[in-house]
Amino acid sequence: MNIALWILQVVVGAFFVYHMTLLLRPNPERLRQGMKYVLEMPSGLRVFTGVADGLAGIALIFAGFIRPVDWLVPMAAAGLVLLMIGAIVFHLFRREYPNIALNAVLLLLSAFIAYGRFAVQRFDA
């Protein structure tokens, strides 16, 4: 179980770090096809989401290696669950259904990581 959680943490964390780069340094030419919402988001929301995505992604990948802060992994995953709920609501109002599906998958993966690190396979075990 520990190996599966680590693999998920790295994959989900890498996705959110990548998404942070898209939000904080948007390239209008590249984003016009599938991620037009990034260009249309209010700048404050875009920056908040980008920073939250990036910090949570980094915590998922690296906090488990540092003993005093390994508790950040389940907290970051739980924060991502909340962030994905907000993203689903945001995309629901815009009728961007493929994005809602992706956010739902990310929500489930983040919830699995949070549950796994809170209850099933803690780092101190």
Tokens of 14: 């890498």
Residue 37 inside a domain? The answer is: yes
Residue 10 inside a domain? The answer is: yes
Residue 99 inside a domain? The answer is: yes
pLDDT at 21: 92
Helix (H) or strand (E) holding 62: helix 43-62
CB 57, CB 16: distance < 8 Å? yes
pLDDT at 123: 66
Residue 9 inside a domain? The answer is: yes
* Span 55-69, average pLDDT: 90
Reduced to 3 states, what is the DSSP secondary structure of residue 42? coil
Share of the chain above pLDDT 90, in %: 64
How many structural domains compose the chain?
1
The residue segments making up the domain with residue 114 are: 2-120
Residue 82 inside a domain? The answer is: yes
pLDDT at 60: 94
CB 22, CB 38: distance < 8 Å? yes
* Environment class of 122 (CB within 10 Å of its CB; exposed 0-12, middle 13-18, buried 19+): middle
Residue 125 inside a domain? The answer is: no
pTM greater than the 0.75 cutoff: yes
pLDDT tens for each residue of 14-46? 999 999 998 998 887 777 777 888 888 899 999
Residue 79 inside a domain? The answer is: yes
In the structure, what pLDDT confidence band is assigned to residue 124 with cuts at 50, 70 and 90?
low
pLDDT at 114: 95
Residue 125, pLDDT above cutoff 70: no
